[in-house]
Amino acid sequence: MLQTLSVERRVDPHLSIDKYDPEAELLLLHMGPQHPATHGVFRMDLYLDGEIVVKAVPYVGYLHRAVEKLCEKLTYSQITPIVDKNDYVAPMTNEQAVNMAFEKLLAIEVPRRARWIRMIFAELQRIASHLLWLGTFTMDLGGALGGGTTVFMHSFREREMIMDLFEEVSGCRFHYNTHTIGGNRHDLPAGWAGRVKEALAVIEARISEYEGMSLENRIFVKRTKGVGVIEPGLALELGLTGPMLRACGIDHDLRRDAPFHAYDEVAPRVIVAEGGDCLARARVRLGELKESVRFVRETIDSIPEGSINGGRPIKLPNSIKIPPGQTYVGIETPRGELGTYLIADGSANPYRLKIRPPSLHALSALPYVLPGGTVSDALAILGSVDPIMGEADR
């Protein structure tokens, strides 16, 4: 499958709408930027023939906060709390991505304990993020006043437990600012591991409930099966990563394939599903939810002792200067590969910091998959993409 090079692009996203059957009366439906199901501020213009989508034109940029420009003016240690706000559903992964790029250019060795803690944080963030996805996705399928909301409320109840754990570590519910260059800012509080296991036990016992409400629900399957199919070749070309890619049957996970943190010592299973449709994406995410819960439960006790911030002691964080150079670091977040392309010029601020957002790439698949489905399908697909606009637009 991966061997064939040419990918048949079934849908041409740049097709002029005038080329469509001139007899048809098309309805242009602007969805968004403020719409209950667009997950923030995302806009799609759908050309409808009846209820069938003929052409979809997505627009992003309604949350373009100019983070990259801002970073050019900030010192390296000031950047961490800013990038937190990009992927606001899993903020820690943002911090990790930029700090790892800084560390790479500075050639700082992160202590083993810090790497383990980062790994545990990343996995807990994955749980929180996938729980949020589950809630919002079923809400897209089931309406704000219906069964979908019930799932949403339940998954938020569990998410709060994870938020609590992080609040205990950093003092914030999100936007933690808990990573620094060379390690972590906060050590784990006493007894934290026990409370993590407590919360995970509760979540774990309820995952089967979620599966009953989603994957085993006939209506859920009917609404998602065969909807929004992305071919594996196209998925690769588009740069889809994370669950979107793995749902196309491509076995690729940076945690295993290009290990960072402590994933070279222990690695979670990679969840892959065939089909490339919404159901497959749901399968992958729920599978990862389960796997992450299991992974944290099994590894939390083996966090090594040691210092959490080392390599070399950083006394005056604002005076860190990174020697000229360029580097790219990509890590696996709940949404896929979050990358940082850093260009340093030897001063105290980055010359250019480009964040590679997995959500933006995932959204760029929409014009290829939406045509041919109905409006309901369009929203199901959008929900299954799990876009976070803060990250896509930056």
Partner 1 sequence: MNVVLTAVVTCVAILTGILTATAWLIWFERKFSGRMQSRLGPTMVGPSGLAQPVADLVKLLQKEDVVPEAADRALFDLAPKLAALCALGAAAVVPFSATVVGAKIDLGVLFLLAIGAVTVMPVFMAGWASNNKFALLGGMRALAQSISYEVPLVLSAMVPVILAGSMDVSKIVEAQTRDGWYLIDPVWLGLPAFGLFLLAMLAESNRIPFDIPEAESELVAGVTTEYGGMKFALFYLGEYVHTLVASAVASALFLGGWDGPFAPGLHWMVAKTVGLFVFVYWMRWSLLRFRSDQLMRICWYWLVPLAVALLLGAGAWVVL
Partner 2 sequence: MSERANLDTGASWTHPLYATLEKLPGVSLGLASVDDLLAWGLTNSLWVFPMATSCCGIELMAAAASRIDLDRMGTIVRGTPRQCDVMVVAGTITVKMAPRVLKLWEQMPEPKWCIAMGSCAISGDFYRNLYSVIPGIDTVIPVDVYIPGCPPNPEALMHGLLRLQEKVHARRRGEKVDRDPNPDLIRVTQPAIPRVCERDLGRNDELSKLQADQAGRVTEEQMCPAVDVPFEPPPPATPVFAPDFEGLLRELGVAVAADGPPLVPVERHFEFARRLKELGYRQLVSIVATHWLAGTGRAGKEEGASEHLEVAYVLRTVGPGSRLATWAVRVAPDQPIPSLVPLYAGADWQEREQFDLVGARFAGHPDLRRLMMAENYPGHPLRRDFPIDAHCAPWR
Does residue 35 bind ligand SF4 (CB under 6 A)? no
Neighbours of 241 (CB within 10 A): 26
- Sign of the C-alpha dihedral, residues 358, 259, 129, 133? positive
Q: Of partner 1, partner 2, ligand SF4, none, which one does residue 339 interact with (CB within 5 to 8 Å by kind)?
A: partner 2
The footprint of ligand SF4 on this chain (CB under 6 A) covers a number of residues equal to 2
Does residue 85 bind ligand SF4 (CB under 6 A)? yes
Closest to partner 1 by CB, 139 or 342: 139
Q: Which helix (H) or strand (E) holds 44?
A: strand 43-49
Question: Side by side, which strands form the sheet with 52-59?
Answer: 27-31, 43-49, 52-59
Q: What is the DSSP string of 65-121?
A: --HHHHHHTS-HHHHHHHHTTTSTTSHHHHHHHHHHHHHHHHTPPPPHHHHHHHHHH
Rounded Cα distance between 20 and 24, Å, is 8
CA 316 from centre of chain? 33
Q: Of partner 1, partner 2, ligand SF4, none, which one does residue 204 interact with (CB within 5 to 8 Å by kind)?
A: partner 2
Closest to partner 2 by CB, 10 or 222: 10
Q: Of ligand SF4, partner 2, partner 1, none, which one does residue 223 interact with (CB within 5 to 8 Å by kind)?
A: partner 1
Closest to ligand SF4 by CB, 65 or 222: 65
In the region spanning residues 173 to 192, those forming contacts with ligand SF4, defined by CB under 6 A, are 175
Rounded Cα distance between 119 and 115, Å, is 6
From the CB of 55, what's the least distance to partner 2, in Å? Answer: 13
Q: Of partner 1, ligand SF4, partner 2, none, which one does residue 1 interact with (CB within 5 to 8 Å by kind)?
A: none
Does residue 64 bind ligand SF4 (CB under 6 A)? no
Does residue 375 bind partner 1 (CB under 8 A)? yes
Closest to partner 2 by CB, 225 or 294: 294
3-state secondary structure of 375: helix
Question: Do the Cβ atoms of 326 and 351 come closer than 8 Å?
Answer: no
3-state secondary structure of 199: helix
Binder of partner 1 out of 191, 219, 257, 328 (CB under 8 A): 219
3-state secondary structure of 368: helix
Closest to partner 2 by CB, 117 or 169: 169
Q: Of partner 1, partner 2, ligand SF4, none, which one does residue 346 interact with (CB within 5 to 8 Å by kind)?
A: partner 2
- Sign of the C-alpha dihedral, residues 193, 198, 204, 209? negative
Q: Of ligand SF4, partner 2, partner 1, none, which one does residue 75 interact with (CB within 5 to 8 Å by kind)?
A: none
Binder of partner 1 out of 61, 143, 189, 191 (CB under 8 A): 143
The site map against partner 1 for 146-175 (x = CB under 8 A) is: xxxxx--xx--x------------------
Rounded Cα distance between 266 and 74, Å, is 35
- Sign of the C-alpha dihedral, residues 261, 267, 270, 271? negative
Comparing CA positions, the residue from 250, 257, 294 lying closest to residue 273 is 250
From the CB of 238, what's the least distance to partner 2, in Å? Answer: 4
Rounded Cα distance between 210 and 157, Å, is 12
From the CB of 303, what's the least distance to partner 2, in Å? Answer: 13
Closest to partner 2 by CB, 50 or 198: 198
Scan for tokens 């105290």, then name that residue.
Answer: 348
Does residue 17 bind partner 1 (CB under 8 A)? no
Rounded Cα distance between 368 and 53, Å, is 11
Closest to partner 2 by CB, 126 or 356: 356
Closest to ligand SF4 by CB, 177 or 217: 177
Closest to partner 1 by CB, 327 or 374: 374
Note the residues at the interface with partner 1 (CB under 8 A).
Answer: 27, 29-30, 35-37, 51, 138-150, 153-154, 157, 217, 219-220, 222-223, 374-377, 379
Binding site for ligand SF4 (CB under 6 A): 85, 175
